[in-house]
Amino acid sequence: MDVYLVVYILVYVFAKVVSIVDFRRTGAILLPRMNPAAYSRFGVTGVSFDKATGRSRLLLSETSGTARLAFEVEPHQAGEVILHANGYAPQNSDVLQLFLRAHGFRLMYARITGASAGSASSAARAEIHYQQEGRLFQLELQPAQAVALSARAATPVYIDRRLIPGWQQRSLESGRQREEVLPIPAL
């Protein structure tokens, strides 16, 4: 048998297997350039509203641990998350999600990392990862934007484990009795 024919058959079979398996549903999501041991998976489990300041936050819970985090978001983003979680997603209100859907893209997950090595900024960075017909893409966003989009699209958020302790402390300090918390189903 010709070597080229064998390689062609192997590539063909591999492509068929990959196209049959929905990696997102099986939990074996492909995470390019990401060490899974360095990240924790989170889902949005609630929305809080601080009556005194008028600020809204998305509450995240670690899916395989005990960490709880909060991300301050715009009130309209918190409202959209509540509507999506309850099945009342407004049509065509989320421009980025509308764009992704219109062009056949599927949002896979958001990833939040620390600042890149050699960066002058110490701020966290976030990316959304999405795919179209087997091609993978990413787009850099602010962490709160990436979390809000992931919540509306019901996709996981992966957070660099090194960031969690500092954010947990900040979340605990900012949580006050004057906040109203609305739990939503874990996404």
Q: Is residue 10 part of a domain?
A: no
Q: Is residue 14 part of a domain?
A: no
* 139: phi then psi, degrees, rounded to nearest 5: -140, 130
What tens digit of pLDDT does each residue of 8-22 get?
666 555 555 444 444
Once rounded to an integer, what is the mean pLDDT over residues 107-131?
80
User: Could you tell me which residue, 85 or 42, shows the higher pLDDT?
Assistant: 42
CATH code for the domain in which residue 150 is found: 3.10.690.10
What tens digit of pLDDT does each residue of 73-101 get?
888 888 888 877 777 765 656 677 778 78
Once rounded to an integer, what is the mean pLDDT over residues 122-140?
88
Q: Is residue 16 part of a domain?
A: no
The token pair at 177 is 């009795």
Q: Is residue 123 part of a domain?
A: yes
Q: Is residue 52 part of a domain?
A: yes
Q: Is residue 179 part of a domain?
A: yes
Residues 127 and 109: beta-carbon distance below 8 Å: no
Q: Is residue 86 part of a domain?
A: yes
In this structure, how many other beta carbons lie within 10 angstroms of the beta carbon of residue 186?
14
3-state SS class at 62: strand
Nearest Cα residue to 137 out of 93, 81, 99? 99
- Mode of pairing for the β-strands spanning 56-62 and 68-73: antiparallel
Q: What range defines the domain where residue 88 resides? A: 23-183
Judged against a pLDDT cut of 70, whether residue 169 lies above it is answered with no
Q: Is residue 2 part of a domain?
A: no
Q: How many domains does the chain have?
A: 1
- Answering whether pTM is above 0.85, one says no
